[in-house]
Amino acid sequence: MAGICDIEVVVFDVLGTLVDEPRGLRAAIRDAVPAADDASVDELLTVWQQHVELEQQRIGQGHRAYVNTEIIDGEAAGRVADHAGLGDPATIARLATAGQRLPPWGDSVAGLARLAQQFPVLGLSNASRTALPRLNAQAGLRWHQAVSAEAVRAYKPAPEVYQLAIEIAGCLPERVLMVAAHAWDLRGAQSRGMRTAYVQRPVGDPPTSSDVFDARFNGLDELVTTLMDR
């Protein structure tokens, strides 16, 4: 594809793009509340996700001072515990670290390994600087460098997060490819001049009819093959 033929560095979103965040959170909620049925687990997952999304938005809008994902996840775990009637402190504390135990998609580990043979590969995540290495280790993800948005005390899609990735890549933004399963993430990368590739995932945010990304793929294998066969 002409739009990505001159890429030098590949940057990946992590949550949702390379790991199945909802499945990992569901598993953690089930462990914490074993009596919950499927519908109850889904309700508790929604409680968690809505809290995280709202608080990150509040931070982005300047309505709350920056706190990292460990703080926000701890708050989310507390909300889930309140809704589920869960009172054991050790169980709640373990639930708060659920975001560090997320399973990779089936093509993530091998795809990254293949791509890293030819390109510098970076992870760019909203996960905190201490949570991100644990998440990567648990999922088996291997990077040349894993970058936390905490370094600039912001959350994607804040422009300074993508600028951080560009500076670490050490080349022009049009030579850096941002890969994500979330259209909102790719729009943020576009705002800084990065190239963009959408990878379809069941839990992602698909492009709208007005989105124009440099490439779209049905999975990571298709992306990797395209880049390595240039």
In the chain the domains, ranked by start, together with CATH numbers, are 2-20+102-228 (3.40.50.1000), 21-100 (1.10.150)
Distance (Å) of CA 155 to CA 109, 151, 182: 25, 10, 14
Q: Where are the alpha helices (DSSP H) in 97-182?
A: 108-115, 131-139, 159-169
Residue 109, amino acid: V
d(CA 36, CA 11): 38
Per-residue confidence (pLDDT) for residue 208, from 0 to 100: 97
Give the burial class of 205: count Cβ atoms within 10 A of its Cβ; 0-12 exposed, 13-18 middle, 19 or more buried.
middle
d(CA 212, CA 133): 32
Peptide bond into 157 cis (omega under 30): yes
d(CA 64, CA 213): 32
β-pairing, 121-125 vs 176-180, is: unpaired
Q: Residue 3 has what DSSP assignment?
A: G
Over its length of 230 residues, how does the chain's per-residue pLDDT go in tens digits?
557 889 999 999 999 999 999 999 999 999 999 999 999 999 999 999 999 999 999 999 999 999 999 999 999 999 999 999 999 999 999 999 999 999 999 999 999 999 999 999 999 999 999 999 999 999 999 999 999 999 999 999 999 999 999 999 999 999 999 999 999 999 999 999 999 999 999 998 999 999 999 999 999 999 999 999 86
Count helices and strands (H / E) in the chain: 9, 6
Enumerate residues 6+ apart whose C-beta is below 8 A from 77. Answer: 48, 92, 93, 95, 96, 98
Distance (Å) of CA 219 to CA 12, 17, 60, 83, 126: 13, 10, 30, 36, 22
d(CA 175, CA 8): 5
Estimate the crossing angle of helix 69-84 against helix 38-60, to 10 degrees.
Answer: 140
